[in-house]
Chains A and B, each alone.
Chain A
Amino acid sequence: MQIQDAGGQLTSRTTYRLADLADYLARLVLPFLGALVLTTVVLLTVDVAPLDAYRILLFGAFSTPIRFGDMVMLASPLILCAGGLTLTFAAGLYNLGIEGQVVLGAIAAMIPLRLFPDLPPPLLWMISFAFGAAGGMIWALLAASLRLGAGVNEIFAGLGLNFLASGIALYLILGPWRREGSASSSGTALLPRELWLPTVGSLRLAPLAPIIALVSLVIVWWVLSRMRWGLEVRAVGLNGAAADRLGVPAVKRMAQAMAGCGLLAGLAGTLQVLGVFHQLIPNISSGVGLIGLLVVLLVLARPIWVLPVAVVFATFTVGSVQLPLTLGIDSSIAGVLQGALVLAALVSRGLMQRRRRA
């Protein structure tokens, strides 16, 4: 199905623009309605007024500056991950190893912080981001080389590398990087305060995080839709063998797409360390890679849509924290809504596909 989507964009950009827009909207609105119905049923079965729950899920994150800041700090790594995944998606690759790439990015970002804590913080942050990006990229290239060199499907290579990455993180946390005098899987010692990314007032919002995320997303959009490189990546995604025959270095483009995605995931991991947790914890990715995959299943290879969808997903998650306190329901209802959205999107996409074929 995604073959036709991408193909439509490639060949008939101008002719079908209006129809495309209607199509996009239908694809966004229908899943949303479907997901609302599904979630409403869940809410009704646990005896909660759905409107109250939706008010909190949709607007709760905007109710106070603190919550808004938390939403931005969740949306930023999510945008990086989802943006990166549009690259691999365009290349026809399924980078399920993104969680591991976030973790490796976080681990790599910790290295300069531990080695040179006395450097001036801005310089140290730059080195840390560079290390994080490199860490994520290397991990992604590992998955890519398993796919391209050894013929291991990148899905399974990625999943395997995810386990390996969290294993390394755990080893470091319980071993060489543990807090002095203790061994706890709760995490390494907090970074010194001067190494935390600067925040706005008393909020946890570090402005650098959304800036990095948005700039990265713009670059992804640019290379994917305005550069020849992006065109070639799409061509590889459509039909690698054909693209190869037409002179596109398919293997190279696939590896580059993976590397690009890993780089962005590594930046996300660095943000988690410098801006969110200020330490290395076993679950340092806090699932942003997985949520990023959900976002990409909704937006496919269209980076522009990453921003709104990632913000909506982050809004659900941050808003849901209030649910147990105010309505007495578990905050995992946000996960239900996110999952239902993706499910409904896949179903409606499948139905449209069938209609088109008929």
Chain B
Amino acid sequence: MRQPPVRFIALLILFALLLGACGTTPAAQPTAAPAPEATGAPPVAPTDAPAEPTAEATQPTEPPAATEAPTEEEFVFGMILVGPTNDGGWNQAHFAAAEYAQARLPGSRFIYIDKVNPADRPNVQVEQAIEELINQGAKFVITNSAEFADGTKLAAEAHPDVYFLHASGDAVLTGSAPSNLTNLMGRMEYGKMMAGCAAALQSDAGKLAYLGPLIDPETRRLVNSTYLGAKYCWENYRDQPADSLDFKVTWIGFWFNIPGVTLDPTRVATDFINEGNDVIISGIDTTEGLVEANKASAAGRTVWAVPYDYEDACAQGEDVCLGVPYFNWGPRYTEILGDAMEGRFESQWEWIGPDWNDINNPDTSMIGFIKGAGLTPENGALLDDFISKLADGSLNLFTGPLNFQDGTVFVADGEVADDLAVWNTPQLLEGIEGQSAP
């Protein structure tokens, strides 16, 4: 009946707590050095950087609103982010967009809480975080993750005097949203088709690997889009038979790495490389796919990567980056927030595509694709040709015949899938290796 000393127990517990604390940081670490010039904002290294300093820093870029500002009430808008603001992906794109909107909306002030997820903030629920933003005066709250669907709805019902935007959600579409809640999403399907095409153009082995987050209709339709883009370019520009293209997806279980809960994306990426895949296409919020491809490339292997979400994502491995499909939320956020400031808020489900005149126009295009340094000029030209076909509508990749993994028909021969069918994609397509979770 020995008694282990209390000190030992204390050490163990502190160790466990430390482990817990450390465990949550890696999500931010691989991306800790975003290119600051991208957002035009000051470098925001600490992810919990206060909202105020950044607000002050961007104010000088605003037109002097001295005549109106003192009389007008300040319009505070808040954002709840699922990951850190500097993840080089999904969350950074949202953060940059909010700063973009703030700079263009005189009298507005942006506040936020990031890393709202059970690993980083175990005792904080979305509704609670939203409550804090409203306590700080927020009149408009943007939530940026599919995981926030229920919490955003609850908060919107509890605060009918505050406007809510749930990015990537479809509560308005399904009719379950209160009237002060709106939905916004970009048609990343196009960006993913470009990503798949770039991968197929550059791949030697014809073995493409997709680093998937969790499985839901959104992630399934994005994997399908990537595959369709890859297959088209493999067949039509590379003149290879479709069945010689390997396309595999591995899901880690969440939008980013949570040690002990998700698969480790770094590990998955190295496995991809060891299995002989020569392009890693990322579908997760963070940049492990690119980082690992970069390492393997430095070690003498030929591996390319296509990151995701954020326009500057290639910065973490320029030479192996084939390009990045990204969201540009700023322009539409600015419009929606501006309308709300003037009392014109509309609850709607929006799914906005690229500005086909210039998909990389920062002020008009919701979806863009920036080519990476790794893409050869010849392949770049072929990709441009592919994009032009998407742009003029002569090519719709969701045209039948398309079958699901289990052999059932998704789109019959000669027909075209409508928006709802694509939005609610229930399965991966035939030809893709990986779990569908129908």
Name A's B-contacting residues (CB within 8 A): 1-3, 64, 66-67, 70, 74, 92, 94, 96, 153, 155, 166, 170, 174, 178, 181-187, 190, 202, 204, 236, 239-241, 250, 276-277, 281-283, 286-287, 290, 293-294, 297, 317-318, 321-322, 324-332, 335, 339, 342-343, 346, 350
A186:B214 contact, CB within 8 angstroms: yes
A-contacting 9-mer, from B111-119, B264-272, B346-354: B111-119
Q: Do A283 and B119 contact each other (CB < 8 Å), given the known contacts A155-B4, A182-B217, A240-B1?
A: yes
Chain A contacts for B217, CB-based, 8 A:
181-182
Q: Is B173 an interface residue (CB 8 A)?
A: no
B437:A182 contact, CB within 8 angstroms: yes
Q: Do A3 and B3 contact each other (CB < 8 Å), given the known contacts A155-B12, A335-B21?
A: yes
A182:B215 contact, CB within 8 angstroms: yes
Chain A contacts for B50, CB-based, 8 A:
324-325, 327-328
B115 to chain A, nearest CB (A): 9
Q: Is B412 an interface residue (CB 8 A)?
A: no
Residue from A184, A283, A317 with most neighbouring chain B CB atoms (10 Å): A184
Q: Is B133 an interface residue (CB 8 A)?
A: yes
B47-68 vs A: 1/0 string, CB under 8 Å? Answer: 0111111000000000000000
Q: How far is the CA of A64 from the CA of B118 in the complex (A)?
A: 23
Residue from B217, B261, B435, B438 with most neighbouring chain A CB atoms (10 Å): B261
Contact of A283 among B1, B3, B261 (CB under 8 A): B261
Contact of B21 among A1, A185, A294, A332 (CB under 8 A): A332
Q: How far is the CA of A277 from the CA of B124 in the complex (A)?
A: 10
Q: Is B150 an interface residue (CB 8 A)?
A: yes
Q: Is B216 an interface residue (CB 8 A)?
A: yes
Q: Do A324 and B135 contact each other (CB < 8 Å), given the known contacts A182-B217, A184-B214, A287-B20?
A: no
Residue from A178, A283, A294 with most neighbouring chain B CB atoms (10 Å): A283
* New contact pairs (12) apart from A181-B216, A283-B119, A287-B20, CB-CB < 8 Å: A2-B6, A94-B4, A96-B13, A178-B437, A184-B254, A185-B214, A204-B125, A239-B1, A250-B1, A282-B118, A324-B113, A328-B49
27 chain-A/chain-B pairs, Cβ below 8 angstroms = A2-B6, A92-B1, A92-B3, A96-B9, A96-B16, A183-B216, A184-B147, A184-B216, A185-B262, A186-B147, A236-B1, A240-B1, A241-B1, A250-B1, A276-B125, A281-B118, A287-B20, A287-B122, A297-B6, A321-B121, A321-B132, A322-B132, A325-B111, A325-B132, A331-B121, A342-B13, A346-B6
Q: Is B136 an interface residue (CB 8 A)?
A: yes
Chain A contacts for B49, CB-based, 8 A:
328
B249 to chain A, nearest CB (A): 12
A321:B122 contact, CB within 8 angstroms: no
Contact size range, B: 35 or more
A321:B124 contact, CB within 8 angstroms: yes
B123:A317 contact, CB within 8 angstroms: yes
Q: Do A185 and B128 contact each other (CB < 8 Å), given the known contacts A190-B150, A283-B122, A339-B14?
A: no
A149 to chain B, nearest CB (A): 15
Q: How far is the CA of A166 from the CA of B251 in the complex (A)?
A: 19
Q: How far is the CA of A330 from the CA of B7 in the complex (A)?
A: 28
Chain A contacts for B10, CB-based, 8 A:
297, 342-343, 346
A155:B13 contact, CB within 8 angstroms: no
Closest 6 pairs (CB-CB, A-B): A328-B50, A240-B1, A184-B214, A286-B122, A182-B216, A185-B253
Chain A contacts for B128, CB-based, 8 A:
70, 204, 321
Closest-by-CB residue of A relative to B213 is A184
B43 to chain A, nearest CB (A): 15
A98 to chain B, nearest CB (A): 11
A78 to chain B, nearest CB (A): 10
Q: Is B40 an interface residue (CB 8 A)?
A: no
B17:A290 contact, CB within 8 angstroms: yes
Q: Is B26 an interface residue (CB 8 A)?
A: no
Closest-by-CB residue of A relative to B46 is A330
Q: Is B177 an interface residue (CB 8 A)?
A: no
Q: How far is the CA of A153 from the CA of B1 in the complex (A)?
A: 10
Q: How far is the CA of A202 from the CA of B134 in the complex (A)?
A: 15
A300 to chain B, nearest CB (A): 9
Q: How far is the CA of A70 from the CA of B128 in the complex (A)?
A: 8
Q: How far is the CA of A283 from the CA of B147 in the complex (A)?
A: 15
Residue from A66, A187, A240, A342 with most neighbouring chain B CB atoms (10 Å): A66
Closest-by-CB residue of B relative to A166 is B260
Q: How far is the CA of A182 from the CA of B147 in the complex (A)?
A: 12
A152 to chain B, nearest CB (A): 13
Closest-by-CB residue of B relative to A67 is B131
Closest-by-CB residue of A relative to B11 is A346
Contact of A184 among B46, B53, B215 (CB under 8 A): B215
A46 to chain B, nearest CB (A): 9
Q: How far is the CA of A182 from the CA of B129 in the complex (A)?
A: 25
B16:A290 contact, CB within 8 angstroms: yes
Chain A contacts for B129, CB-based, 8 A:
321
Contact of B123 among A155, A186, A287 (CB under 8 A): A287
Residue from A170, A317, A324 with most neighbouring chain B CB atoms (10 Å): A324
Closest-by-CB residue of B relative to A277 is B125
Chain A contacts for B48, CB-based, 8 A:
324, 328-331
A189 to chain B, nearest CB (A): 9
Q: Is B426 an interface residue (CB 8 A)?
A: yes
Q: How far is the CA of A281 from the CA of B125 in the complex (A)?
A: 12
Chain A contacts for B381, CB-based, 8 A:
none
A74:B123 contact, CB within 8 angstroms: yes
Contact of B9 among A174, A282, A297 (CB under 8 A): A297
Q: Is B127 an interface residue (CB 8 A)?
A: yes
Q: How far is the CA of A294 from the CA of B414 in the complex (A)?
A: 66
Chain B contacts for A294, CB-based, 8 A:
13
